[in-house]
Amino acid sequence: MTETHPKITKAVIPAAGLGTRFLPATKATPKEMLPVVDKPAIQYVVEEAVSAGLDDVLMVTGRNKRPLEDHFDRNYELESALTKKGDQSRLAKVQESSDLATMHYVRQGDPRGLGHAVLCAAPHVGHEPFAVLLGDDLIDPRDPLLQRMVEVQQQHGGSVIALMEVDPAQIHLYGCAAVKPTGEGDVVQITSLVEKPDPADAPSNLAIIGRYVLDPAVFGILRKTEPGRGGEIQLTDALQELAADEELGGPVHGVVFKGRRYDTGDRGDYLRAIVRLACEREDLGPDFRTWLRDYVTEEMQGS
């Protein structure tokens, strides 16, 4: 008989980081609110959780993060102005974000690291497995990674993390996984994890990207996890303990993602996300693509 695992209903979105790579834009505005075409980056992330069936969303926020709460709340002044004008299409856009999911918020007083941010979710999550989506990691809506991870968790239990192959020279920017195959093409078993290794010591070129489905046993481990790399409480360190001892919270699997992903906290990737998503939009795409083609042709002629 196959074992059944508790259904996953909750998503946690850590969004309390300082966003220093994007200063000065993020001095008074959370980086998650920077627009990707005409929607803040964070709305794509909440939409992704909802598409995977998780409409109970807890956002971990901090100082300067009020705009995040306002974005997912009603805005009666704007709604009544648009209603008076009869502008139904913009009214729908304003209401879309507040109708998306059941939103909850918790504050992380001090940004003591991603592991600490996840620990702030413990009282809300309780004893069920849950998903974690980093607020500045954008997965292209056409590449349903989280859904696949939920499926794998429901099949194997334990925890599931998302991995992506990166250029070995870039692995020092990520958490890195040592893995063994499972016989299922995109699924691997994690044998160990290390946060931001030197390329010479990295066990693979598989980088951890910002999607996780976690067994609640991670909370007990995080409570005991000492600050690691960068003086921060690292989620990777806690996951390494889970991977090293299956008795703690079941196995840790990885789903190797081959789709499109953007780190919107990185300026170059942020620009690439905007160009790509704008090109593919039905309303903006045709004109924008024409302009982009002419622009690139001019640049090539100039060089």
Binding site for ligand UTP (CB under 6 A): 14-22, 60, 108, 111-114, 116-117, 134-136, 265
Beta strand spans in 136-251 (E)? 137-139, 159-165, 175-181, 187-195, 206-214
Beta carbons of 246 and 156 less than 8 angstroms apart: no
Report the residue number, 19 or 228, with the smaller CB distance to ligand UTP: 19
Minimum CB–partner distance for residue 204 and ligand UTP (Å): 21
Judged by beta carbon, residue 23 or residue 275, the one nearer ligand UTP is 23
The tokens describing 201, both together, are 């010591």
We find the least distance from the C-beta atom of residue 169 to ligand UTP, in angstroms, to be: 19
Are 75 and 87 contacting, i.e. CB atoms less than 8 angstroms apart?
Answer: no
Residue found under tokens 């409409």: 55
**Min CB(47)–ligand UTP separation in Å:** 16
> Which residues, in sequence order, are bridge partners of residue 267?
none
Least Å from the CB of residue 206 to ligand UTP = 18
The token duo for 138 is: 């954008």
- What's the helix, strand, coil split of the chain in %, to 5? 45, 20, 35
Smallest distance, ligand UTP to C-beta of residue 22, A: 6
CB nearest ligand UTP: which residue? 17
Closer CB to ligand UTP, 116 or 156, in the complex: 116
With beta carbons less than 8 A apart as the criterion, state whether 42 and 34 touch. no
* Residue number, 4 or 20, with CB nearest to ligand UTP: 20
CA pseudo-torsion sign 18, 23, 27, 30 = negative
Which of 22/257 has CB closer to ligand UTP? 22
Size of the chain in residues? 303
In the bound complex, what is the minimum distance in angstroms from residue 118's beta carbon to ligand UTP?
A: 8
- Choice between 44 and 189, CB closer to ligand UTP: 44
